Amino acid sequence: MATIDSLINPYQDYAAVIFDCDGTLVDTMPAHFEAWCEALAIYGAANVLAEDVFYAMGGRPTKDIVMDLNAEYGLKLDPARVALSKREAFLRKLHSIELIEEVAEIARSLRGKVPMAIATGGSRFVIEKTLHIVGVSDWFDEVITADDVINGKPAPDIYLEAARRLGVAPESCVAFEDAPAGIDSAKAAGMRVVEVPAPMRK
């Protein structure tokens, strides 16, 4: 199985590195899925989000996913209320999350050597809690969240904003991503992408 280090080796001329958070740097996806199930059950929509669909939607803002579920199943869920319930359920599970060590080791080795950012579809409140609990809050020059852009992943906005804040051209950035929406987002921004393979997320 390829290692993360071997995947980044072809990109020796990068000027900055940008990491997705959930499922890429931090192993949060099982906790997020459980939180989704709990939140949807509160509003009578238990079992509408299959686990494989959830993983395919990874990286997208919560409210966007709720709107997709409404359209798909003819539901009338309030995106803001579901998002709040889902956030509260996830925060109760923070004790269960941990770094994805293969990716964290890359970030650790680059710290202080090249500009680094987080570019995530999560909210700032949740992401700051997440980074704090795993002890990496001070690793990154910038943290860009869904709260900072109008269009979430798979639109390129969040990666373009990360590059802008780092003062680096997008095409000189390498992005680490695990989910289809995030991969599409980084590529649309003109960045080279290291795709974090599924076994790294287990």
Contact assessment for residue 10 and residue 60, using Cβ atoms and an 8 Å cutoff = no
What is the distance between the terminal CA atoms of the chain, rounded to a whole angstrom?
14
Give the bridge partners for 174, in sequence order. Answer: 17, 192
Q: At what angle do helices 124-133 and 79-91 cross, to 10 degrees?
A: 10
Q: What is the pLDDT of residue 8?
A: 60
pLDDT along the chain (202 residues), means of 10: 53 86 94 94 90 84 90 93 95 95 94 95 94 97 96 96 98 94 96 79 45
What is d(CA 146, CA 168) in angstroms, rounded to the nearest whole number?
20
pTM of the model: 0.86
Known active-site residue 20? yes
Q: Using alpha carbons, select from 161, 145, 200 the residue that is nearest to residue 177.
A: 200
Structure tokens at 94: 């923070």
Could you say which of 20, 22, 27, 64 is catalytic? 20
Q: What is the pLDDT of residue 46?
A: 86
What is d(CA 15, CA 13) in angstroms, rounded to the nearest whole number?
7
Q: What is the pLDDT of residue 112?
A: 92
Domain ranges of the chain: 4-28+98-201, 29-94
Contact assessment for residue 24 and residue 174, using Cβ atoms and an 8 Å cutoff = no
Residues 6+ apart with CB under 8 A from 124: 143, 145, 147, 148
4-28+98-201, CATH topology level: Rossmann fold (3.40.50)
What CATH class has 29-94? Answer: mainly alpha
Q: What is the pLDDT of residue 202?
A: 45
Q: Using alpha carbons, select from 109, 100, 105, 156 the residue that is nearest to residue 130.
A: 100
Give the bridge partners for 22, in sequence order. Answer: 26
Q: What is the pLDDT of residue 6?
A: 57
